[in-house]
Structure 1
Amino acid sequence: MSNVAVEKREPLITVDGLKTYYPIKKGILSRTVGHIKAVDGVSFSIFEGETLGLVGESGCGKSTIGRSIVRLENPTEGKIFFQGDDITGLSNKQMSDYRSNLQIIFQDPFSSLNPRKRIKDIIAEPLKVHHIVPPKDIQKRVDELLDMVGLPKQYKNRYPHEFSGGQRQRIGIARALSLNPKLIVCDEPVSALDVSIQAQVLNLLSDLQKELNLTYLFIAHGLGAVKYISDRIAVMYLGKVVEIAKTEQIFKNPKHPYSLALLNAYPVPNPNFRNKERIVIQGDVPSPANPPKGCRFHTRCPIAMDICRHQVPELKGTDHAVACFAVN
């Protein structure tokens, strides 16, 4: 985790009222009959040099936010500002000036690598497209990137299937670093790896952040990795951010009942330090195609009030923001 005084820095990227919907089509004419509201009005900022952890259950919209930020998905509404520039409505050609600064590491290190290409070609491709280095220096840069992620340069002639899961993820990290980005979206980069390998990859990401002054959006559904690497944590539920604060505040003083429930599910080695106030979530996550009215968590919340069923709580607070009528 980096020691970042975020209050004294300008945001590197700002998300304002972001909505990303997917149409539901039916019938012979494929008419749109509804929308999957994957992300439904999310706002936050990430400051240069920090790591913002984004956590929540599967299907809550975490990955969609990450893909929208790097413009692999086109937002339905809202704004995305990178260093003060609005990149929301830019075309693919216009986005080319920003692509080198916005990179992503995918969850599955195998499916994200072209199985027909050697590693040297996979890492070199972004360098050729963006003309980052002269053609004669490309292979030298590939060797440097492999060294940065802890892989011998002689591995560059191999194919992805010849590597373990952890090694493939290191290759994905090397590819993301090839363009000298300022922001990297880490989309559950360790969830598909063994526990021992997860620690190695997290240490690598942490070391690279300090060495290169990188900024991360770290997406995960488990709190262990997020606690280790994040400066701040944003908790998501069904397309909305319900709480955002510094990591230590989320773990010591969670205010939203959903955040507390996630912490209760987080294994603590010493039972004497477990949270005495336990909240157990009942039922399944509602469909993002038909989310509940009012607070989206009220159908599963043990402390829901009548107002929660009719009004949407605002995310209020500066250092510790919470969207809950029982708190605000």
Structure 2
Amino acid sequence: MSTSRIRKEVDEALLAFVDRQRPALLAISDDLAPLLSALDALLTGGKRLRPAFCYWGWRAAGGEDGADGADLVQAAASLELLQASALIHDDVMDSSDTRRGQPSVHRRFEALHGAQSWPGDAEAFGAGAAILLGDLCLSWSSEMFETCGLGGDRRRRARAVYDLMRTEVMCGQYLDMLEGTRGEATAATALRVVEFKSAKYTIERPLHMGAALAGARPDVTAALTGYGLPLGIAFQLRDDVLGVFGDPAETGKPAGDDLREGKRTVLIALTLERASAAQSTALRRRLGDPALDRPGVDELRSIIEDTGGLAACETMIERYLGEAERALRTAPITEEARRALAELAVAATARST
């Protein structure tokens, strides 16, 4: 199955699942309609990488298209509800204004509060509504997976991976918040965040989940780790670069938004390791300033480039990508899966979105 076909089927499965939930929510109250509208808007975007890696983990372990194909797609699509939960909560914690080119969920509900002229704190209402919608998505991700139709034994094996993945990403999110609070992340501590918040969650565990659904041998699972973990790190490092240097039309976020949010990424840590005293002072002074304007963004970009921080991050991306490619070449999987995973590696680490 092609990547575009996987995406189409995942989109259809997500739409069908949310549509099945819609009457139950609206039967409780029509006031819940804005929650559904916010979720509909969020689910229209995204690359669907996690379901794609889940699908090819299944195929790599011997799963075939056929009677189980639609059930597998539903199981894989449940990862998009988990991702929606993570994004909604992440945007609240980071005070992000946009997501996928539109207002973030908490800003959407903050605006609703203002438009209705309700009493009280609009910002608090927006954050509370977003947290609840994120919790709902987390609950629905489990429900969508458990009702996918695949046999109990296979589903139980994959559920163990799913549970571990959710634990890891929440721990990674906490570590990310902690590093931002401390304000002194090193490249090593930033990489620890990358591993658990992104690399395992985006690539390694979805591969393992699909492989578990196909009853993978231990050597196949190990080979998927050899490919998936370094690729996941390269993916997040690329995302960090795009968060500073990416085109807003492609990233869906304002230019330099990661700088305004003060994210203590590997890119920033590498820059600070190489910065002069003056460069370090300028970067620390302006990093995390929500009022950072375009000239300020340009100044920090120049520091990141001039110190060699950007070049060092690009070198790391190539090193981790090379590690993933070498592991993939010797993995005991089908040639079809090998080709598809090689294409996904390129898509996940491309210099534009």
Give the structure-2-normalised TM-score: 0.27
1 or 2, which has the higher strand percentage?
1
1 or 2, which has the higher helix percentage?
2
